[in-house]
Amino acid sequence: MAKHPFSELPRWQQIGTLVLAPIEVILTVTAAVDLARRPADRIRGPKALWWLGILVQPVGPIVYLKWARRR
């Protein structure tokens, strides 16, 4: 797989990266902070699996925030 400098990417890929990368980071950090602070009895399933799950980008943090937390 050839690696290209950011400046050589098409304009739409540059813009997409600059828009989506921060969103992905914010979702991951939000999910990680919530998982660290939330007691295990308020999470569906084992915490250890959710730690691995939130690392599956980009769907892991979204799935955690949507379905793993008990209210």
In tens, the pLDDT along 25-69 reads 999 999 999 999 999 999 999 999 999 999 999 999 999 999 999
Q: Which structural domain, as residue segments, surrounds residue 58?
A: 27-71
Q: Is residue 49 part of a domain?
A: yes
Whole-number Å distance between alpha carbons of 13 and 71: 38
pLDDT the model gives residue 70 = 85
Q: Which residues pair with 43 in a beta bridge?
A: 69
Q: Is residue 4 part of a domain?
A: no
Q: Is residue 45 part of a domain?
A: yes
Counting the structural domains of the chain, the total is 1
Q: Is the pLDDT of residue 1 over 70?
A: no
Q: Is residue 63 part of a domain?
A: yes
